[in-house]
Amino acid sequence: MVESSLIILAVFLAIYAFVVFLDVRKAKKRGVKYHFRQAVTAFLFLLPACVLAYFFILLPIVYSLGYGFTKFPLLRPDRIEFIGFRNFTDAFEEIASDGWLAKAIKNTAFFVVLVVPLQIILALALALFCNFKAKGNVIFKVCFFTPVVISLAVTAYLWKELLSPAESSFINSILGVFGIPPQDFLNNPDTTMTAIVLISAWQGCGYQMLIFLSGLSGIKKELYEAARLDGCNAWQRFLRVTLPGLRPVLLYIVITVFIGACRIMIQPMLMVGYQENSVTLSYYMWYQGFRGRNVGYSAAIALLMTIFIGAITLIQRKLLGGKDNDR
Amino acid sequence: MTDKNVRALIHDDNVAIVKKSRKSIYGRIIYYVFGAVLSLTFLFPIFYMIAASTKSEEVIAQHAGTIMMFIPDFGNMGHFLDNYGEVFTKYNILRHALNSLLYALIAIVLNIIINGLAAYAICKLHFPGKRFFNFIILFLIIVPVETSIIPLLTICKHILHLQNHFSVLAIVLPPAISIFNIFLFIQFFSSIPKAYEEAARMDGANTFQIFLKVILPLSKPILATVAVFVFIGVWNDYLWPTMVLTDESLYPIQAELETIGMDPDITPGQTMASLVITSIPIFIVYIAAQKYIVKGFGAGGLKI
C-alpha cells in the first residue's frame, strides 16, 4: 500500500515537473521572470492543501479504481492480493441469481425513477411560487428550505417515529380519524421505498428550489413583456419563456438530483436497516465493505456504479443540453 | 447592473403594484394564505417533533389524531423536564454536542486557512506550473467523481492509526480540504484590487502577513459562507464518525443518536427531545446566516 501510494505521488510529481518545465521555457522565450522567493512562498502556501488533497481526495479516487481487482480484507491490509475480474464476475452472479445485489438494484431504480421527477417538479413549483413579487415571501423560502439544513439522521429518526406502526403514531392516528387500521409503512415491502421517496423529496426539494430561483432571476423581464404583447397567456409564457430560460439550470439540477438519488443510503439504513425491501446500491456497497469487511468486492460495486452514473450523466447532457446546439 | 438601477426597477414595480386595481389585493391575500398552508405542510414534522418532546407517552397517545399533536404541552412541565433531563443525564448528550461543536470549529479554522492559502497562491502569486493546479481544480469540480467511503477508510486507518484520541484526526482532517471552497476563494480573491497588497508590501509586510491582515479581513462574506457550510457539513455528518471512531465518548451528536435510538427503554418523547437538541444549533446557524447560505447555494449553481 505504501509503495502504490508512492508510485501515484511520483506520477503526479512527474506531470507537475513537466508543466513547470514548459512554463519556465515559455517564460524564458517571452522574457518573463519568476522570482525564486515568491515561488517558494507559493509552494509553502499550497503545501498543506496538496498534502490533504493527496490523502483524502486523490488517493481514494485512484484506490477505488484499483481495489476492485483485489481481494482485500478490511482488517488485514497486509493480505491484499490481486484477483483480476473475480469481484466483477461475483457481482454479476449475485445479480443473475436474484441475490441481495439484484434487490439493491431494483430498490435503487424504483427510488430514482420516482424521486427525480417528483423532487424536480416540486422544486420548480415552489420556485415559481416564491418568485412572485410579494412583500415578505422570503419567509416562505426560509420555510421550504428548512428541511435541507436538518441532518439526514434527525429526519430519518423523526420519520421513523412519525411512521411507527403504533396506533398513536402521527400517520396512523390521522389514518385512524378516517377509520383506516394502523399500518407499518416502513416494514411493509410494498410501501418501504415509496415512503422513502416521499421523505427524500420533502427533505431535498428546497435545495433545488433555490437553484431554480437563481435561474428564474436570470430570465430577462423584457421577454415576458414581449410574450404578453404577443398575446401569450400565463401557461404559454411558462412554456415559451420560463422553461427555455431555465434549461441550463434544469440540466444541472437533473444531473445532481440523479446522482444524489443513486447514492441514497442513510434513510433506509436508519429507518429500516439492512432488509431485502430497503437495501440500496450504496447501502449494499457500504455493507459489503464495512460490515462484510470485503473492501475489494465493495470497490468493484463502486466502480460499476461510477461507470453507470457517468454514462447516464453523459446521456442526460446530450438529451437536455443538445437542443441548445440546434439553435 | 448598478445599485441605482436596481432601486429604480424596484421603485417602478412598486408604482405598478399601487396602480393595479383592488382585485390584486384579494389575489395577494389568497397568495399569502396559500403560502402559509404550504409552509405548514413543509414544517409539520418539525412542529410535531418539538411538541412531542414536551409530552409523556400517555399524553402523546391522548393527543393523537387531534390538532393538539402540534402544540407543545407546557401545562405539565414535569413531562418536559423528564424527557430533556433523561436525555441529558442518561445519554450525556451535552458532551456529544460539545464534541460536535469542537470538531466543527477545528474543521472551520483548518478549512479557511488551508484552502484560503492555496487559493491565494493560485490567484495572486506568480510561480511556474500554475496551470497544473488550475486543471486539477477544474477537473475535480466538473467531473462527478463517485469516491467510495471505504477506500478513504482504509487510507485513514493506515496513515492516522485510528486509535484513542488520534481517531479524531479522521473526523477533522478530511473536511478541512475542499476543492469547491478553493474555487470559491479564488473567485472572491480575484475581485480584490492589487493596490491593497502593494500598499501593505510598502509597509514591509511579508506575503503571509498580507494574507492574514489584508486579504482575510477583506473576504468576510466568503469566509462566512465557507464557515457556515463547513459547520453544517461537520455537524450533520452521521456515517463517517461511526466508521472511524471506536471510543463512544468521542462520538459527535449525530452518531450518539444511533445509540439513543437503539435503547429499548426509550420513550417517543425522549427520542424527540434528543432530535430537538441535535437540531437547535443548526436552526440557530440557519436563521443567523440565512443570507450566506442562500449565497453559497447560489454559487453552487455555478458549478457546472
B259-269 in b/e form (b: 16+ CB < 10 A) is: ebbeeeebbbb
Element (H or E) spanning B292, and its range? helix B290-300
Pick from A104, A113, A302: nearest CA to A200: A113
Q: How high is the pLDDT of residue B2?
A: 46
* Residues B53 and B82 sit within 8 Å (Cβ to Cβ): no
* Residues B150 and A295 sit within 8 Å (Cβ to Cβ): yes
CATH architecture of B93-262: Orthogonal Bundle (1.10)
ipTM of the complex: 0.86
* Residues B126 and A35 sit within 8 Å (Cβ to Cβ): yes
Domain boundaries, chain B: 3-90, 93-262
Is pLDDT of A77 > 70? yes
CATH architecture of A98-326: Orthogonal Bundle (1.10)
Q: What is the pLDDT of residues B100-138, one digit of tens each?
A: 999 999 999 999 999 999 999 999 888 888 889 998 888
Enter the C-alpha cell of residue A47.
503545501
A22, A38, A148, A158, best to mutate vs chain B, most B CBs in 10 Å: A158
CB–CB of B148 and A298 under 8 A?
A: yes
Q: What is the pLDDT of residues A263-289, one digit of tens each?
A: 899 999 999 989 999 999 999 999 999
What's the CA gap between B234 and B238, in Å, rounded? Answer: 9
What's the CA gap between B114 and B302, in Å, rounded? Answer: 23
**Chain B neighbours among A 81-120 (CB < 8 Å)?**
none
pLDDT confidence tier of residue B161, bands split at 50, 70 and 90:
confident
Mention every residue, 6+ apart, whose C-beta is less than 8 A from residue A12. Answer: A54, A58
Q: What is the pLDDT of residues A237-250, one digit of tens each?
A: 888 888 888 888 88
Show residues of chain A in contact with B144, CB under 8 Å: 255, 259, 309-310, 313
Instruction: Tell me the pTM.
Output: 0.87
For residue A153, give the amino acid letter. A
pLDDT mean over B23-38: 86
CB–CB of B132 and A142 under 8 A?
A: no
* Residues A148 and A126 sit within 8 Å (Cβ to Cβ): no
What's the CA gap between B187 and B180, in Å, rounded? Answer: 11
Q: How high is the pLDDT of residue A234?
A: 84
What's the CA gap between B154 and A100, in Å, rounded? Answer: 24
Show residues of chain A in contact with B272, CB under 8 Å: 158, 161
Count how many pairs of residues, chain A against chain B, have C-beta atoms within 8 Å.
267
pLDDT mean over A87-98: 91
What's the CA gap between B278 and B274, in Å, rounded? Answer: 6
Which ranges in chain A belong to alpha helices (H)? 2-30, 36-53, 59-66, 86-96, 100-130, 138-149, 152-162, 170-177, 192-217, 221-229, 234-237, 243-262, 266-271, 281-286, 295-316, 322-326
CB–CB of A305 and B146 under 8 A?
A: yes
For residue A163, give the amino acid letter. L
Show residues of chain B in contact with A158, CB under 8 Å: 45, 49, 272, 275
CB–CB of B297 and A211 under 8 A?
A: yes
A35, A41, A259, best to mutate vs chain B, most B CBs in 10 Å: A41
Whether residue A67 lies within 8 A of chain B, CB to CB, comes out as yes
Is pLDDT of B301 > 60? no
What's the CA gap between A15 and A17, in Å, rounded? Answer: 5
Count of residues making up chain A: 327
pLDDT confidence tier of residue A129, bands split at 50, 70 and 90:
very high
Q: How high is the pLDDT of residue A75?
A: 83
Strand-pairing partners, residue A71, are A81
Give the three-state DSSP class for A313. helix
Is pLDDT of B278 > 90? yes
Whether residue A72 lies within 8 A of chain B, CB to CB, comes out as yes
Enter the C-alpha cell of residue A201.
423529496
Q: What is the pLDDT of residues A29-66, one digit of tens each?
A: 888 888 888 889 999 999 999 999 999 988 888 888 88
CB–CB of B303 and A45 under 8 A?
A: no
Whether residue A308 lies within 8 A of chain B, CB to CB, comes out as no
Angle at B122 between CA B120 and CA B128, to 5 degrees: 135
Q: Which of B160-174, B248-262, B290-304 has the highest mean pLDDT?
A: B248-262
In chain B the beta strands, taken as DSSP E runs, fall at none
Domain boundaries, chain A: 2-71, 98-326
Q: How high is the pLDDT of residue B46?
A: 94
pLDDT confidence tier of residue B78, bands split at 50, 70 and 90:
confident
CB–CB of A152 and B130 under 8 A?
A: no
Give the three-state DSSP class for B289. coil
Instruction: Please provide the average confidence, as pLDDT, over all residues in chain A.
Output: 88
CB–CB of B127 and A43 under 8 A?
A: yes
Strand-pairing partners, residue A82, are A70
A122, A161, A222, best to mutate vs chain B, most B CBs in 10 Å: A161
Is pLDDT of A325 > 50? no
DSSP state, residue B114: H
Q: How high is the pLDDT of residue A327?
A: 34
- For residue A32, what is the nearest residue in chain B, using CA coordinates? B126
CB–CB of B155 and A56 under 8 A?
A: yes
* CA terminus-to-terminus distance, chain A: 52
What's the CA gap between B197 and B214, in Å, rounded? Answer: 7
DSSP state, residue A242: I
Q: How high is the pLDDT of residue B22?
A: 58
Give the three-state DSSP class for B205. coil
Enter the C-alpha cell of residue B143.
467531473
Of A35, A56, A259, the CB nearest to B144: A259
